Amino acid sequence: MYERCLLEAERILAADKDIIVPVKKVWNLVVREGRSQNFEVPALADFTALLEAHPTFEFMAAHNGVLDDMEEERPDELSAEEEDLERMGFYAGDRVKLKRITLTPEALGGILRTKVDRTVDALSKAWQRRPAGDSETEERLLAIISQTKKLQRDVKAAFSEEKMKKVSKALKKKRPAAVSPPQAKRSSKGKSRPAKRRARTSTPKKSGRTRARH
Asked if 48 and 110 sit in the same domain, the reply is no
Per-residue pLDDT, 180: 56
For 77-83, which contacts have Cβ atoms below 8 Å and span 24 or more sequence positions? none
The answer to whether the CB of 47 falls within 8 A of the CB of 11 is no
The answer to whether the CB of 30 falls within 8 A of the CB of 41 is yes
Asked if 91 and 27 sit in the same domain, the reply is yes
Per-residue pLDDT, 85: 77
The answer to whether the CB of 152 falls within 8 A of the CB of 116 is yes
Asked if 9 and 58 sit in the same domain, the reply is yes
Q: What are phi and psi of 80, to 5 degrees?
A: -60, -35
Asked if 13 and 88 sit in the same domain, the reply is yes
Asked if 97 and 107 sit in the same domain, the reply is no
The enclosing domain of 23 has a CATH number of 1.10.10
Per-residue pLDDT, 67: 43
Asked if 151 and 97 sit in the same domain, the reply is no
What is the full DSSP assignment across 152-190?
A: HHHHHHHT-HHHHHHHHHHHHHHSPPPPPPP-----TTS
Per-residue pLDDT, 107: 85
Residue ranges in the chain modelled with pLDDT below 70: 1, 63-79, 175-214
Asked if 162 and 135 sit in the same domain, the reply is yes
- Please count the structural domains in the chain: 2
What is the model's pTM? 0.63
Per-residue pLDDT, 75: 53
How do 95-98 and 21-22 pair as beta strands? antiparallel
Is 33 exposed, middle or buried (CB count within 10 Å of its CB: 0-12, 13-18, 19+)? middle
Asked if 96 and 128 sit in the same domain, the reply is no
Count each helix (H run) and each strand (E run) in the chain, helices first. 8, 3
Which range marks the domain in which residue 129 is found? 102-169
